[in-house]
Amino acid sequence: MLNWLPEDVSTYGKEVDSLFYLIYYITGVVFLLVTVAMIVFLIKYRYQEGRRAIYTHGSTTLEIIWTVVPAIILILLAFKSQAAWSHIKMNTPPGDVQIRVLAKQFNWDITYPGPDGKFGTEDDLPRPGDPVILDEIHVPVNKVVRVELVGKDVIHSFFLPHLRLKQDVLPGRTILAWFQATKPGRYPLPCAELCGIGHSGMLGSLIVHMPEEYAAWVKEKWPTNEKAQ
C-alpha cells in the first residue's frame, strides 16, 4: 500500500509519511497476529464429537495485559505525532514568499503581495481593478511559502496531496498555512471539502519554479522593481 502515496515534494512530507509507515507496520503486525490467532482457534477448536469446550470466564491478568499494552503503544504514538503536528500546523514560520488564496465556489482566487510583501497595496498582483488570477500559484523551490487562506462563501479545503498539506478554508476568517516545496514541477490543488455542485473539478495548480525561472516570472510580473521577491 505504501507506494500508492503520491510523491512527496515538501520538507515536512517525510514526517507525515514516516508516521504513516510507523502506524502501518504496527497495525499490520496487530492485524496479522489477530487474524492468525483467530484462524488457528477456529480450526483447532472447531466442534468435534466428544470434546467439550473449556469452562472459563476469562483471565484478569490477560485482560490487564491487553488493556495496558495497547494503551501504552497508542499514547506513545500520540506523543510521537505531536512533534510533526506542531511543526506543520502550530508554528507557522515567517515566509520567504507570501500568497493569499481566496476560496470561492468553485475557484481558487490568488493574490501576490508584490515587492513590499504587504497585501492591499498598489503593487499587489493582480493590481486593484485588474482581472482576478484563478487557480494557478507560482512559488520558488526551497523557500518557505506562507499562505493566507480566506473564504468567501462556503467551506473549501486547500489540498496539496504532493506536499501533504490540507487545510479547510472558512468564510469570515483568515487561516495561515505554510509549505516548502523541494522539487520543481506542477502539482494539483483540488478542493477537498464538498462545496456544492461544482465541487468536483474545483482544481488549481501549484507551479514550483527553479530559482532562475522564478526570478524570470517575477521580472515579468513586476518589470519595474529589481528587488521583487
Partner 1 sequence: MSESRAAKGTHEVHEAHAHLGFVRTYIFSTDHKMIGRQFLFMGLFMLIIGGLMAMLIRWELAFPEKPLPVIGASKEFIDTGEPKTSMDQTWAEWLSKPESEQNWLTKNMPMGAITAPLYNSLFTMHATLMIFFVVMPIMVGGFGNFLIPLTIGARDMAFPTLNMLSFWVGLLSGIIMLASLFVPGGSAAAGWTSYAPLTAKVEYTGVNWGQNLWCISLIVMGISSLMGSINYITTIINMRAPGMTFFRMPLITWSLFITAILLLLALPVLTSALAMLLFDRMLGTHFFLPEGGGEPILWQHLFWFFGHPEVYILVLPAMGVTSEVLSVFSRKPIFGYRGMVFAMTAIAFLSWVVWGHHMFVSGMNPLIGTTFMMTTMVIAVPSAIKTFNWLGTLWGGSIRFTTPMLFGLAFVSNFVIGGLSGIFMASTPVDIFIHDTYYIVAHFHYVVAGIIFAIFAAITYWFPKMFGRMMNETLGKIHAILTFIFFNATFFPMHILGVGGHMRRIFNPLQYEFLHPLQPVNVFISISAFCLGVAQLIFLFNFVWSLFAGKRADRNPWHANTLEWITPSPPPHGNFDKIPTVYRGPYEYSSPEVAEDWLPQDRRLETTTAKGAH
Alpha carbon distance 90, 109 (integer Å): 25
Taking Cα atoms as reference points, which of 7, 198, 5, 206 lies closest to residue 106? 198
158 contacts 189 by C-beta, under 8 angstroms:
yes
> CB-wise, 128 or 201, nearer to partner 1?
201
CB of residue 180 to partner 1, shortest distance in Å: 15
Choice between 123 and 148, CB closer to partner 1: 148
Helix (H, G, I), strand (E, B) or coil at 113: coil
| Distance of closest approach, residue 40 Cβ to partner 1, in angstroms | 9
Of 20 and 222, which CB lies nearer to partner 1 in the complex structure? 20
Least Å from the CB of residue 6 to partner 1: 5
Specify the residue, 3 or 224, whose C-beta has the smaller distance to partner 1.
Answer: 3
Min dist. Cβ of residue 71 to partner 1 (A):
5
Pairwise CA distance, residues 169 & 152, whole Å: 9
Q: 167 with 189: CB under 8 angstroms?
A: no
Which cell numbers in the block locate residue 96?
Answer: 520567504
What is the maximal distance between C-alpha atoms in the chain? 95
Nearer to partner 1, 97 or 163 (CB): 163
Q: How far is the CB of 129 from partner 1 (least distance, A)?
A: 24
> Rounded to an integer, what distance in angstroms lies between the CA atom of residue 199 and that of residue 104?
10
Residue 200, classed as helix, strand or coil, is: coil
The amino acid at residue 97 is V
